[in-house]
Amino acid sequence: MDRDSMEAPTSTTAALAMPKPAPASSNNDKKASRFRRVCVFCGSSAGRKAAYQSAAVQLGQQLVERGIDLVYGGGSVGLMGLVSRAVHGGGGRVTGVVPRSVLPRELIGETPGGEEVKAVSGMHQRKAEMAHRADAFVALPGGYGTLEELLEVITWAQLGIHDKPVGLLNVDGYYDLLLAFIDRAVEEGFVAPAARHIIVAAPTPGELLAALEEYVPAHHDASSVKLSWESSVDTRTCSPPKPDMSR
Protein backbone atom coordinates (compact mmCIF):
# COMPACT_ATOMS: atom_id res chain seq x y z
CA MET A 1 0.00 0.00 0.00
CA ASP A 2 1.32 3.38 -0.96
CA ARG A 3 0.98 5.32 2.28
CA ASP A 4 2.64 8.47 0.97
CA SER A 5 -0.12 9.80 -1.28
CA MET A 6 -3.80 9.72 -0.40
CA GLU A 7 -5.11 12.05 -3.09
CA ALA A 8 -8.82 12.38 -3.80
CA PRO A 9 -10.13 10.26 -6.70
CA THR A 10 -10.07 11.97 -10.09
CA SER A 11 -13.06 12.02 -12.41
CA THR A 12 -11.47 9.17 -14.34
CA THR A 13 -11.09 7.21 -11.12
CA ALA A 14 -14.73 7.81 -10.26
CA ALA A 15 -15.77 6.42 -13.62
CA LEU A 16 -13.78 3.26 -12.95
CA ALA A 17 -14.48 3.02 -9.23
CA MET A 18 -17.52 0.79 -9.70
CA PRO A 19 -16.36 -1.73 -12.31
CA LYS A 20 -19.03 -3.80 -13.97
CA PRO A 21 -18.73 -7.46 -12.99
CA ALA A 22 -17.38 -9.68 -15.72
CA PRO A 23 -19.98 -11.94 -17.36
CA ALA A 24 -20.78 -14.86 -15.11
CA SER A 25 -19.12 -18.11 -16.07
CA SER A 26 -19.42 -21.63 -14.79
CA ASN A 27 -16.62 -23.26 -12.86
CA ASN A 28 -15.85 -25.30 -15.98
CA ASP A 29 -15.21 -22.09 -17.93
CA LYS A 30 -12.69 -20.72 -15.45
CA LYS A 31 -9.02 -21.04 -16.24
CA ALA A 32 -7.42 -23.50 -13.87
CA SER A 33 -4.83 -21.93 -11.58
CA ARG A 34 -2.30 -23.33 -9.19
CA PHE A 35 -2.87 -20.32 -6.93
CA ARG A 36 -5.62 -20.01 -4.35
CA ARG A 37 -4.72 -16.49 -3.25
CA VAL A 38 -2.65 -13.70 -4.77
CA CYS A 39 -1.39 -10.75 -2.74
CA VAL A 40 -1.57 -7.46 -4.64
CA PHE A 41 0.60 -4.46 -3.72
CA CYS A 42 -0.48 -1.13 -5.19
CA GLY A 43 -0.99 2.56 -4.59
CA SER A 44 -3.59 4.23 -2.42
CA SER A 45 -3.57 6.85 -5.17
CA ALA A 46 -5.07 6.14 -8.57
CA GLY A 47 -2.23 7.70 -10.55
CA ARG A 48 -2.55 10.22 -13.35
CA LYS A 49 -3.00 7.77 -16.23
CA ALA A 50 -6.26 5.98 -16.89
CA ALA A 51 -4.14 2.99 -17.95
CA TYR A 52 -3.12 2.37 -14.33
CA GLN A 53 -6.73 2.35 -13.19
CA SER A 54 -7.85 0.12 -16.05
CA ALA A 55 -5.06 -2.34 -15.24
CA ALA A 56 -6.19 -2.56 -11.61
CA VAL A 57 -9.75 -3.37 -12.66
CA GLN A 58 -8.57 -5.86 -15.29
CA LEU A 59 -6.29 -7.58 -12.78
CA GLY A 60 -9.21 -8.04 -10.39
CA GLN A 61 -11.36 -9.47 -13.17
CA GLN A 62 -8.55 -11.80 -14.27
CA LEU A 63 -8.22 -13.11 -10.71
CA VAL A 64 -11.94 -13.86 -10.61
CA GLU A 65 -11.81 -15.63 -13.99
CA ARG A 66 -9.07 -17.90 -12.66
CA GLY A 67 -10.84 -18.55 -9.36
CA ILE A 68 -8.11 -16.77 -7.36
CA ASP A 69 -8.90 -14.87 -4.16
CA LEU A 70 -7.36 -11.49 -3.35
CA VAL A 71 -5.20 -10.58 -0.37
CA TYR A 72 -4.24 -6.92 -0.11
CA GLY A 73 -3.62 -3.98 2.21
CA GLY A 74 -7.28 -3.33 2.98
CA GLY A 75 -7.88 0.14 1.56
CA SER A 76 -10.74 1.19 -0.69
CA VAL A 77 -9.06 4.23 -2.26
CA GLY A 78 -6.84 4.49 -5.32
CA LEU A 79 -5.73 1.36 -7.14
CA MET A 80 -6.31 -0.69 -4.00
CA GLY A 81 -9.99 0.15 -4.07
CA LEU A 82 -10.32 -0.57 -7.78
CA VAL A 83 -8.77 -4.03 -7.66
CA SER A 84 -10.67 -5.04 -4.51
CA ARG A 85 -14.02 -3.91 -5.90
CA ALA A 86 -13.35 -5.71 -9.18
CA VAL A 87 -12.70 -8.98 -7.33
CA HIS A 88 -15.63 -8.55 -4.95
CA GLY A 89 -17.96 -7.44 -7.75
CA GLY A 90 -17.08 -10.54 -9.74
CA GLY A 91 -17.87 -12.87 -6.87
CA GLY A 92 -14.32 -13.46 -5.62
CA ARG A 93 -13.17 -13.47 -2.00
CA VAL A 94 -11.28 -10.46 -0.68
CA THR A 95 -9.13 -10.30 2.46
CA GLY A 96 -7.78 -6.95 3.61
CA VAL A 97 -4.93 -6.96 6.13
CA VAL A 98 -4.90 -3.67 8.01
CA PRO A 99 -2.84 -2.35 10.94
CA ARG A 100 -5.11 -1.25 13.77
CA SER A 101 -3.55 2.21 13.65
CA VAL A 102 -5.08 2.86 10.21
CA LEU A 103 -8.44 1.21 10.74
CA PRO A 104 -10.40 4.52 10.93
CA ARG A 105 -12.46 5.01 7.80
CA GLU A 106 -10.90 8.33 6.96
CA LEU A 107 -7.56 6.62 6.37
CA ILE A 108 -8.58 3.49 4.48
CA GLY A 109 -12.05 4.33 3.19
CA GLU A 110 -14.95 1.90 3.40
CA THR A 111 -14.23 -1.66 2.36
CA PRO A 112 -16.54 -3.61 0.04
CA GLY A 113 -19.39 -5.40 1.76
CA GLY A 114 -18.47 -8.97 2.61
CA GLU A 115 -14.71 -8.34 2.64
CA GLU A 116 -12.81 -10.08 5.41
CA VAL A 117 -10.75 -7.53 7.34
CA LYS A 118 -7.83 -8.93 9.31
CA ALA A 119 -6.59 -6.40 11.89
CA VAL A 120 -2.93 -6.71 12.89
CA SER A 121 -0.72 -4.84 15.33
CA GLY A 122 1.56 -3.02 12.89
CA MET A 123 3.08 -2.67 9.44
CA HIS A 124 5.60 -5.50 9.86
CA GLN A 125 2.85 -7.88 10.96
CA ARG A 126 0.73 -6.79 7.99
CA LYS A 127 3.43 -7.78 5.49
CA ALA A 128 4.07 -11.10 7.24
CA GLU A 129 0.35 -11.91 7.36
CA MET A 130 -0.14 -11.12 3.67
CA ALA A 131 2.90 -13.23 2.77
CA HIS A 132 1.62 -16.20 4.77
CA ARG A 133 -1.83 -16.03 3.17
CA ALA A 134 -0.74 -15.61 -0.45
CA ASP A 135 0.55 -18.11 -3.01
CA ALA A 136 1.98 -15.37 -5.26
CA PHE A 137 2.54 -11.61 -5.30
CA VAL A 138 1.69 -8.94 -7.88
CA ALA A 139 2.73 -5.28 -7.76
CA LEU A 140 0.69 -2.69 -9.63
CA PRO A 141 2.03 0.85 -10.02
CA GLY A 142 2.49 2.61 -6.68
CA GLY A 143 4.84 4.70 -4.58
CA TYR A 144 7.19 4.17 -1.64
CA GLY A 145 4.91 1.76 0.21
CA THR A 146 4.37 -0.41 -2.85
CA LEU A 147 8.11 -0.52 -3.54
CA GLU A 148 8.86 -1.45 0.07
CA GLU A 149 6.42 -4.36 -0.01
CA LEU A 150 7.63 -5.52 -3.42
CA LEU A 151 11.33 -5.39 -2.60
CA GLU A 152 10.83 -7.16 0.71
CA VAL A 153 9.17 -10.22 -0.84
CA ILE A 154 11.85 -10.23 -3.56
CA THR A 155 14.53 -10.21 -0.85
CA TRP A 156 12.77 -13.01 1.02
CA ALA A 157 12.79 -15.07 -2.19
CA GLN A 158 16.48 -14.31 -2.74
CA LEU A 159 17.23 -15.54 0.78
CA GLY A 160 15.19 -18.69 0.22
CA ILE A 161 12.58 -17.75 2.84
CA HIS A 162 9.85 -18.44 0.29
CA ASP A 163 9.61 -19.69 -3.29
CA LYS A 164 6.39 -17.91 -4.30
CA PRO A 165 6.26 -16.09 -7.65
CA VAL A 166 6.66 -12.30 -7.61
CA GLY A 167 5.07 -10.39 -10.48
CA LEU A 168 5.51 -6.81 -11.64
CA LEU A 169 2.63 -5.37 -13.67
CA ASN A 170 4.61 -2.94 -15.80
CA VAL A 171 1.73 -0.79 -17.07
CA ASP A 172 2.80 1.64 -19.81
CA GLY A 173 6.45 1.06 -18.84
CA TYR A 174 5.92 2.41 -15.32
CA TYR A 175 8.59 0.10 -13.89
CA ASP A 176 11.06 0.31 -16.80
CA LEU A 177 13.54 2.37 -14.78
CA LEU A 178 13.29 0.03 -11.79
CA LEU A 179 14.00 -2.97 -14.00
CA ALA A 180 16.91 -1.10 -15.60
CA PHE A 181 18.29 -0.34 -12.12
CA ILE A 182 18.10 -4.02 -11.16
CA ASP A 183 19.88 -4.98 -14.39
CA ARG A 184 22.59 -2.45 -13.51
CA ALA A 185 22.88 -3.98 -10.04
CA VAL A 186 23.43 -7.37 -11.68
CA GLU A 187 26.10 -5.90 -13.98
CA GLU A 188 27.88 -4.28 -11.04
CA GLY A 189 27.84 -7.47 -8.96
CA PHE A 190 25.31 -6.46 -6.31
CA VAL A 191 22.54 -8.82 -7.44
CA ALA A 192 23.19 -12.39 -8.55
CA PRO A 193 21.98 -13.23 -12.08
CA ALA A 194 19.78 -16.01 -10.68
CA ALA A 195 18.15 -13.53 -8.32
CA ARG A 196 17.30 -11.25 -11.24
CA HIS A 197 14.89 -13.92 -12.46
CA ILE A 198 12.86 -13.75 -9.26
CA ILE A 199 10.97 -10.81 -10.77
CA VAL A 200 8.44 -11.73 -13.44
CA ALA A 201 7.37 -8.63 -15.39
CA ALA A 202 4.65 -8.18 -18.02
CA PRO A 203 2.62 -5.25 -19.39
CA THR A 204 -0.88 -6.71 -18.97
CA PRO A 205 -2.65 -8.66 -16.20
CA GLY A 206 -3.37 -11.65 -18.43
CA GLU A 207 0.23 -11.97 -19.59
CA LEU A 208 1.56 -11.54 -16.07
CA LEU A 209 -0.70 -14.13 -14.45
CA ALA A 210 0.09 -16.60 -17.24
CA ALA A 211 3.83 -16.06 -16.68
CA LEU A 212 3.46 -16.49 -12.91
CA GLU A 213 1.70 -19.82 -13.47
CA GLU A 214 4.81 -21.03 -15.33
CA TYR A 215 7.31 -19.66 -12.79
CA VAL A 216 9.94 -22.10 -11.53
CA PRO A 217 11.80 -20.87 -8.42
CA ALA A 218 15.57 -20.60 -8.51
CA HIS A 219 15.78 -21.60 -4.83
CA HIS A 220 14.64 -25.21 -4.77
CA ASP A 221 15.50 -25.59 -1.06
CA ALA A 222 13.33 -22.64 -0.02
CA SER A 223 10.99 -24.67 2.18
CA SER A 224 13.79 -26.03 4.37
CA VAL A 225 15.43 -22.61 4.65
CA LYS A 226 12.08 -21.10 5.60
CA LEU A 227 11.58 -23.58 8.42
CA SER A 228 15.07 -22.81 9.76
CA TRP A 229 14.49 -19.04 9.52
CA GLU A 230 11.10 -19.15 11.23
CA SER A 231 12.42 -21.29 14.08
CA SER A 232 15.20 -18.79 14.79
CA VAL A 233 13.23 -15.53 14.90
CA ASP A 234 11.53 -14.02 17.89
CA THR A 235 7.88 -14.69 17.04
CA ARG A 236 6.73 -12.00 19.46
CA THR A 237 8.11 -9.28 17.19
CA CYS A 238 8.92 -10.72 13.77
CA SER A 239 6.51 -13.37 12.56
CA PRO A 240 2.92 -14.02 13.62
CA PRO A 241 1.67 -17.62 13.72
CA LYS A 242 0.41 -18.96 10.45
CA PRO A 243 -3.35 -18.42 10.11
CA ASP A 244 -5.78 -21.26 9.56
CA MET A 245 -6.08 -21.36 5.77
CA SER A 246 -8.97 -23.85 5.63
CA ARG A 247 -11.93 -22.65 3.61
pLDDT in tens, 188-241: 999 999 999 999 999 999 999 999 999 998 754 544 445 444 443 444 444 444
Radius of gyration of the chain (CA): 17
- The answer as to whether 242 is a domain residue is no
- Give pLDDT, residue 217: 86
- The answer as to whether 146 is a domain residue is yes
Nearest to 139 by CA among 163, 108, 96, 174: 174
- Give pLDDT, residue 107: 52
- The answer as to whether 137 is a domain residue is yes
DSSP 8-state symbol, 214: T
Task: Tell me the one-letter amino acid at 71.
Answer: V
- Give pLDDT, residue 215: 93
- Give pLDDT, residue 198: 95
- Give pLDDT, residue 22: 44
- The answer as to whether 54 is a domain residue is yes
Sites in the chain below the pLDDT cut of 70: 1-31, 103-114, 219-247
**CATH code where residue 81 lies:** 3.40.50.450
- The answer as to whether 5 is a domain residue is no
- Alpha helices by DSSP H, listed for the chain, are 11-16, 50-65, 78-89, 105-108, 123-133, 144-158, 176-187, 193-196, 205-213, 222-232
Contact in structure between 162 and 225 (CB atoms under 8 Å): no
B/e letters for 170-199, b = 16+ CB within 10 Å, e = fewer, are bbeebbeebeeebeeeeeeeebeeebeebb
DSSP 8-state symbol, 172: G
- Percentage of the chain beyond pLDDT 90 is 56
Contact in structure between 136 and 66 (CB atoms under 8 Å): no
Residues in the chain: 247
- The answer as to whether 240 is a domain residue is no
Q: How many domains does the chain have?
A: 1
Nearest to 170 by CA among 49, 76, 74: 49
What is the domain range of residue 191? 33-232
- Give pLDDT, residue 232: 39
- Give pLDDT, residue 154: 95
Backbone angles phi, psi at 185, to 5 degrees: -65, -35
- The answer as to whether 66 is a domain residue is yes
- The answer as to whether 179 is a domain residue is yes
